[in-house]
Structure 1
């Protein structure tokens, strides 16, 4: 009887013999494949195994992220708000904050945190007295709710009507076109219904220009 020859030791003859049988190649291939997988399994497991993250590490990372955001926010030199002044002061404060928020891509919750940090004097007293009403215990502070409360406090009904009348009577006069455009944009926010339609807004802007520019 011919002694059995290993296919691995004599690849040329083994492969020819296997091809002839039609059965040995699949069997040999799966044996080699399974041995290779079994040998590599421990190494693969050590690479792909997820790293266990301790809860305290997550808290630290979140806190560091929060402190980093505050640091970046303050580097932009955001204005403070004391609650003293007319409606325009409050409006410009919100506008300046919104620009900083957009640059830092703040979430609605982060916006409240940064804005509250900039409240001083009378405005800080107002916030301390009303924050629990605006955001009950357990509630998530969001920017829209803060804005509603802020507007109710610092944009009285009478003050808004005065600004709306000022907008309706606005004329370029001695202002440059750029100056007139800035004033138009500032006052139009007090009369949102009058500028909802873009054509109407453009008409109002054009009507306020000096006659030689219309």
Structure 2
């Protein structure tokens, strides 16, 4: 009887202890989730605040003339080249080289490369870019780097099949009466796509020498030149001498593109000569 009374007297205390323990656990779990929510909210507020500060700083720098990089007006003042969308590796890569030169001269910030550069696309090139922007979305377009832009740009406007054709043309290139500066320009344009084929200066000289007509090669020895520039300059000097020989009547000028009538006359005269023989 006495034992039963003692247990009854302590039962409420034990019960309160159990209740307090359970309540403590519940509060602890609630506080943990509540703290996480507070942390996330604070982080979001801080990020928004930092973004606003950066925007305000950029606006202030633009007004004070201390903006990082160059403005679009300054960029356009350098007359950046326009690209119309020719599927031609030579024209395409020359545009990239020229536009990157403007980036460098104007100290353009890398974050503005895509926005400023794509502003110079016209015609089919602009149609391609508009379609590209729709595919990847506005957010991805804003975050795109210049290298990320160039990869699909070159794939579309400078396809491998066309580059392979340029390599074949380079190997078969021969001077047929063109002036040295003209044939040299064609040679250098195609050479840009033959890095795997032409790996050193000696090979450049070899291909350039073989490309020249016989009236140049007969007075040149490729092994005596150390750079491509040297053999090009020698070819120019030879061209001047050939012009003087033509003026003196010592050599006949070569007609690069004879007219059809002239071709027919030449063929006819050859036939008559053969008949007489």
- Above 0.5 in TM-score? yes
Match of 1:58 in 2: 57
In the alignment, the residues of structure 1 paired with residue 106 and residue 149 of structure 2 have an alpha-carbon distance, to the nearest angstrom, of 19
Aligned pairs for 1:135-154 within 5 A? 137=140, 140-154=143-157
Counterpart selection for 2:195 from 188, 192, 197: 192
In the alignment, the residues of structure 2 paired with residue 152 and residue 113 of structure 1 have an alpha-carbon distance, to the nearest angstrom, of 20
Deviation (angstroms), 1:200: 1.6
Q: 1:137 to 1:194 in 2, by over 3 A?
A: same
TM-score (normalised: structure 1) = 0.61
Residue segments in structure 2 that go unaligned for 5+ positions in a row: 1-52, 221-277
In the alignment, the residues of structure 1 paired with residue 129 and residue 141 of structure 2 have an alpha-carbon distance, to the nearest angstrom, of 17
Counterpart selection for 2:204 from 201, 204, 210: 201
In the alignment, the residues of structure 1 paired with residue 149 and residue 141 of structure 2 have an alpha-carbon distance, to the nearest angstrom, of 16
8 Å CA contact retained: 1:172, 1:208: yes
Deviation (angstroms), 1:115: 1.3
Counterpart selection for 2:91 from 64, 78, 89: 89
Deviation (angstroms), 1:74: 1.3
Q: 1:175 to 1:66 in 2, by over 3 A?
A: farther
Match of 1:74 in 2: 76
Q: 1:158 to 1:138 in 2, by over 3 A?
A: closer
In the alignment, the residues of structure 1 paired with residue 55 and residue 71 of structure 2 have an alpha-carbon distance, to the nearest angstrom, of 20
Match of 2:122 in 1: 120
* Per-residue deviation, residues 152-204 of structure 1 (Å, max 9, x unmatched): 01122321121111111222332333222222221122222123323222322
More helix by share: 2
Match of 1:130 in 2: 132
Q: 1:178 to 1:84 in 2, by over 3 A?
A: closer
* Per-residue deviation, residues 107-140 of structure 1 (Å, max 9, x unmatched): 5443322211111232222112224649973884
8 Å CA contact retained: 1:83, 1:123: yes
Find the residue that maps to 2:80 and give its secondary structure. Answer: coil
Aligned pairs for 1:153-192 within 5 A? 153-192=156-195
8 Å CA contact retained: 1:167, 1:188: yes
In the alignment, the residues of structure 1 paired with residue 78 and residue 212 of structure 2 have an alpha-carbon distance, to the nearest angstrom, of 35
Number of residue pairs matched? 161
* Per-residue deviation, residues 66-111 of structure 1 (Å, max 9, x unmatched): 7943222212222222224544332332232133233224354433
TM-score (normalised: structure 2) = 0.49
